[in-house]
Structure 1
Amino acid sequence: MLYFFACVAALLLGYVIYGKTVDTVFGPDPNRPTPAHSMADGVDYVEMSPRKIWLIQLLNIAGLGPIFGPILGALYGPSALIWIVIGCIFGGAVHDYFSGMLSLRHEGKSVPDVVGDQLGSFFRQFMRIFSIVLLLLVGVVFVLGPAKLLGNLSGWTAPVWVAVIFAYYFLATILPIQKIIGRIYPLFGAVLIFMAIGLTTALIVKGYHFFPQATLSNIHPKGLPLWPLMFITIACGAISGFHATQSPLMARCVGNEKHGRPLFYGAMIGEGVIALIWATLGMSFYQGADALNAALAKGGPAFVVNDISTTLLGPAGGLLAIIGVVILPISSGDTAFRSARLIIADFLKLPQQQIGKRLLLAIPLFTIGFLISRADFGLIWRYFGWANQTLATVVLWAGAAYLIKQQKSHWIATLPAAFMTAVSVTYLAYAKIGFALSLPIATSLGFAAALVSLLAFLLKFSSKKVEKMVAEN
């Protein structure tokens, strides 16, 4: 139990200490006009209160990832919690902060333009395609997951729930942000908080032994290697590129740059706490990796969520907890499609005030999303995991480029960018969906790619070149 609360305390201290360091390095300007003021349109650029933005940002980024990912990651043992804490403080929260603040500084631009402004036109075009593909994968994953859970709770089949959820997503994508998202997310947030606190309290009150397999060794029942698989499996809650597609949505609603640290860095810390809770539940409720693996074999993470919630909180409390788990992916899936619409709109320079123009983009997006939803969920999840971490890697390099151009200490973004380069390349080289190489060869390629990327970055942004960039601007 002390191990769990120590990890939670470490995340909170990370926000107070390292979050302040990151904020100081970036240098928010409270007197600088934000896009919510200078570009207000009543649809996407709408100023909201910091409290509401924080809650919406948390719900936007906290999809199935900080629940399903940590449950699967719990198979590796308590080392999963260390990755959540370190990854969140030094990687994920830094990533989310820069994706939000760079958008805030550049007219609320979406992630392809934010990256392109820092790394060049090639990355701008690459990110336009890559981020839209990722968002479609996210939208579909966050339809299928909650549809299965709702199917278990009701007499309706999963395909019916898929249709219902898609219908909601469509409305949330085309209506002004304050009409649905701005109104119902506070209620969603209350359910989410109940879920997190209620399940943790019940685990303690009912006398479950926290982390019965108290070892940092890899205890995965199937013998899967911790490196790099755990770093891909546990993305949301540690570091997730999907968040970079969500932060610009809220950057368009922020009234003052001084709110950046709690809204972007802080929301990621909140997601880290959720991930810690579910990793702990996975390890402690079943009292062992083998038992957890057996539960997963019965119906995947959705079965585990249902089993844990109803056992710990009873039928009524369990229902609320499961609803909270359903809300998380739905409140990310709707904004995934909304972000995809805005990225395409930015590329086409198509104003979105008129609903007809929003429909022109939304209808094709949802048609493609529905077709993707017919594919195997497990396959979609694996591709999503790699694409997610690859996007996070690119955004961190973009944050490092911004800092070095501003002649500020860039290592707070450069080091996690290099590490995530190693993770993503190793996974692609090792996994069956990639090149299926041996782990030693894949690891060598991953760290070689990280070293080459770091050297290329430092060479591209050498002091003389940076001075020339500053002079030209």
Structure 2
Amino acid sequence: MNSAIVLLLGIAAMLCGYLFYSKFIATRILALDNSRPTPAHTMKDGVDYVPTNKYVLWGHHFTSVAGAAPIIGPAIAVIWGWVPAVLWVVFGTIFMAGVHDMSAIWASMRNRGQSIGSIAGSVMGTRVRSLMMVVIFLLLLMVNAVFGVAIANMLIKTPSAVLPVWGALIVAFIIGQCIYRYNMSLIWVSILGVTALYGLIYLGPMFPVVLPETFMGLPDNAVWIIILFTYAAIASLLPVWMLLQPRDYINGLQLFVGLILLYAAIFISTPNIVAPAINTDLPVGTPSIMPLLFVTIACGAISGFHGLVATGTTSKQIDKEEDARFVGYFGALGEGMLALGAILAATAGFASLGDWQAVYQKFGDGSIGAFIDGGAAILNAGVGIEMVLSQTMLTVMAALFAGTTMDTGVRLQRYIFQEFGEFYNLPILSKGVVATLLAVGTCLLLAFGAGGIDGSGGMIIWPLFGTTNQLMAALTLMIVTVILLRNGKTVWYTLAPLSFLLVMTIFALLIQLKTFYVDGNWLLIIMDLIILIATILVTFESFSVLRREWSSHKGKNET
């Protein structure tokens, strides 16, 4: 199959989703209204609540949610065949992810910018809030710990990416000053920022950075992990306009330039997809496509982490209600386009089926490596960028997005500890520095406590990330559905995807529980059980609330 045709059809479908379906949801279901003041104005504090240009905020939302996961998941899931992966990414993005992100922002805007956990408490009661906080905390712990390990590994594997990855922080800081202190034109700032980023990418291969194999008894990847979390702790305490917003915005533009180059290379070179459309010759030990496809590809189709970002940071910066459509739905669309690019890079970037099979020898193979190597081969063949520079560019793309997700994830984890302090009357947790130290400390404890001196513990819990992520998406849609029902709105557009996700993810949790038991992995068994029990209890409580609201709504209509 020609990859250019698949890419063209996928992009066309997603754009139609934005032009028509998102408009229908925004106007007919959510009734976004610019005359209603948003929390960014009513609760403006210059740190977390900041009215923001929708294009800048789109960059924050998009890059915060589009970490390494929309690359890792799709580039693993193609082992079942490229057709199921493409269909799930395209239709999941249109009918689930976009609606999820936009409606989560809407729910938070209408509730003083509260996080999804706090909204759950006011909508469904304290028990649901407490249970959801457990799921949210574990999800953030997984995201931060895993991405810390992933970025460290990328910086070690591709030393040419170190300079542009860290240099991007300086570029972002300068951009924040230009926009907010000096009121410079966004167009010129964007052009200069993207030019500086790609200048750093060009210089990266000339000045590779390699850490010593050991430093003070720690291996190089452990040193990188500590450096990354030290940075994330500092960044989470800074005002959002100073680093988080501009970094996310410029990274968003950088990704779109990178995607345009990758897409252009596909259209120019038109490589054939060498992987099977549906793989009937699966490696031994590969799990069933049902239901694991729908949790292996989480980010890129629908992701519960998006709800945490949407209600944790994005909703506090929305300038006008109608901006939620562009920021939320189009932000999810951008991630879907990244996931589609990852699928094509991991299936059309190989010379032959044999070469592809040599990489995909067992479930879990491929991942970021297949995206970088396959994408670099396409860029080299299509637009003539040399292999080392192509690999550097794609590594920087993946590392920067994983980094922005870490930035936001640590800030969100800080919010969680602060909310714990408010809920349980523990004033010390309300202090930003204390909450941040606890957030970073728990991530490092997992990384080094479970993984030993190399800090790889985050990867141990990666198998649970997809299921926990999708369950969080279902629970977010559950809360939105209750709010819609209370407001007399049609709920089928959120009820259908949440029901599908609940069935698939609970089924996947049960399958994984059996696997963990056979493997004797007690850490994952305990975490799986905690997540499963919390989810089942939240689901029962939620459907009980839904049933009451439905009966009440029906009664009002009859009278």
**Is TM-score (shorter-chain normalized) higher than 0.5?**
yes
> Deviation of residue 429 (structure 1)?
1.4
Match of 1:305 among 364, 371, 389: 371
Q: 2-side partners of 1:468 and 1:42: how far apart?
A: 43
- Paired letter, 2:400: I
Aligned counterpart, 2:115: 110
String of CA shifts for 1:103-139, please: whole Å, max 9, x gaps: 1111110110123333332211111121112111111
Q: 2-side partners of 1:113 and 1:180: how far apart?
A: 26
Please state if 1:13 is matched with 2:76. no
Please state if 1:46 is matched with 2:70. no
Please state if 1:184 is matched with 2:247. yes
String of CA shifts for 1:262-301, please: whole Å, max 9, x gaps: 1111100111011011011111113677644532569752
String of CA shifts for 1:347-384, please: whole Å, max 9, x gaps: 42399xx9992101111111111111133454321111
SS in 2 for 1:109: coil
Aligned counterpart, 2:277: 215
Give the length in aligned residue pairs: 457
Match of 2:315 among 251, 270, 273: 251
Please state if 1:202 is matched with 2:265. yes
Q: 2-side partners of 1:393 and 1:356: how far apart?
A: 29
TM-score, L = length of structure 2: 0.76
Q: 2-side partners of 1:171 and 1:455: how far apart?
A: 41
The percent identity for this pair of structures is 27
Equivalent residues of 1:396, 1:413 under 8 A apart = yes
Larger displacement relative to structure 2 (383-392 or 121-130): 121-130
Q: 2-side partners of 1:301 and 1:123: how far apart?
A: 35
TM-score, L = length of structure 1: 0.89
Match of 2:131 among 119, 126, 129: 126
Aligned counterpart, 1:93: 98
Match of 2:549 among 452, 461, 466: 461
Aligned counterpart, 1:318: 391
Q: 1:81 to 1:340 in 2, by over 3 A?
A: same
Aligned counterpart, 1:441: none
Please state if 1:381 is matched with 2:386. no
Please state if 1:367 is matched with 2:423. no
Q: 1:433 to 1:148 in 2, by over 3 A?
A: farther
Aligned counterpart, 1:345: 418
Equivalent residues of 1:386, 1:424 under 8 A apart = yes
Aligned counterpart, 1:234: 297
Q: 2-side partners of 1:204 and 1:42: how far apart?
A: 44
| Structure 2: gaps (5+ residues) | 160-209, 212-219, 452-456, 519-531
Aligned counterpart, 2:203: none
Q: 1:199 to 1:160 in 2, by over 3 A?
A: farther
> Deviation of residue 158 (structure 1)?
2.1
SS in 1 for 2:302: coil
- Paired letter, 2:549: F
* Greater Cα radius of gyration, structure 1 or 2: 2
Q: 1:2 to 1:110 in 2, by over 3 A?
A: same
- Paired letter, 2:109: L
Aligned counterpart, 1:61: 65
- Paired letter, 2:410: F
Q: 1:371 to 1:204 in 2, by over 3 A?
A: same
Q: 2-side partners of 1:455 and 1:176: how far apart?
A: 39
Match of 1:392 among 473, 479, 482: 473
Aligned counterpart, 1:35: 39
> Deviation of residue 204 (structure 1)?
4.1
SS in 1 for 2:461: helix
Please state if 1:193 is matched with 2:256. yes
Equivalent residues of 2:73, 2:296 under 8 A apart = yes
Aligned counterpart, 1:333: 406
| Structure 1: gaps (5+ residues) | 438-444
Q: 2-side partners of 1:422 and 1:389: how far apart?
A: 11
Please state if 1:280 is matched with 2:344. yes
Q: 2-side partners of 1:393 and 1:243: how far apart?
A: 12
SS in 2 for 1:212: coil
Q: 1:434 to 1:420 in 2, by over 3 A?
A: farther
Q: 1:386 to 1:293 in 2, by over 3 A?
A: farther
Match of 2:225 among 162, 181, 206: 162
Q: 1:258 to 1:42 in 2, by over 3 A?
A: same
Equivalent residues of 2:22, 2:325 under 8 A apart = yes
> Deviation of residue 140 (structure 1)?
0.9
SS in 2 for 1:407: coil
